[in-house]
Structure 1
Amino acid sequence: MGIIYRIALVLVIIGAINWGLIGLFNFDLVATLFGGQETALSRIVYGLVGLAGLLCIPLLFRELKDDEVELADNRHSNAYTNMNYQTEFGEEPDFTKEERERALENYNNDGKDNKEDRNKNDLV
């Protein structure tokens, strides 16, 4: 989107806010800021907002290009889209012999001796 269309969009938003204030509270912000509806500055602002509205009409019918669409940062959804199907069933070469024996002991005992040791330590 070019700079002209961005400026036009800002002016359309300003006009929409002003119309919302007029409709809800009978308060014309542009007229208040620039000294009434009949002053030259107010009429210029009204004219610019009107031209911006006309300039934004083609934006309604234009298709978005791929480079204009911003993709959301979905870090949380990567858990489902980039799944890791590796398993943990193989030998891990970075274990030392002692660590491997201790892991096998814990696996075979299902951690029972560790729980009993912890209970003994808690009582002491």
Structure 2
Amino acid sequence: MQDGTFSPPGHPLETWTRGDVFSAACPTRQLLDRIADKWSTLILIVLGDGPLRFNALKNRIDGVSQKMLSQTLKSLERDGLVSRSVVPTVPVSVTYAITPLGRTLMAAMQPMVDWAETRMGEVEAAQAGYDRRSSDPY
């Protein structure tokens, strides 16, 4: 992407400045780093099926620690991709849901998920071929 100003169709701002995603300081790159994180992706996919409580999310996403799940949910909430609802029960009940903005991201991510699921055999074959070639001493 190059620097420049343009007005995307339907964008609420009159102008929008594009950054340089190759720069570590670029806000777009920082957002891409967050949403491309494996936990963010998995959380959004799971919440795409409907709201869940914290423990249900933790149980559904194998391998995520409580700390990492909490940090990722806070980041997704801060970015407006996930909402957090607190119900004053005993104990307090907290539910997470994907927001309308998060749904637009899921619409972009779903083709990548579909690609990964349908191409896994080809990727595994490529990996096996690479491993065979890499282990060959000649």
User: If the length of structure 2 is used for normalisation, what is the TM-score?
Assistant: 0.30
Name the structure with the higher helix share.
1
Q: Which has the larger radius of gyration?
A: 1
User: If the length of structure 1 is used for normalisation, what is the TM-score?
Assistant: 0.32
Name the structure with the higher strand share.
2
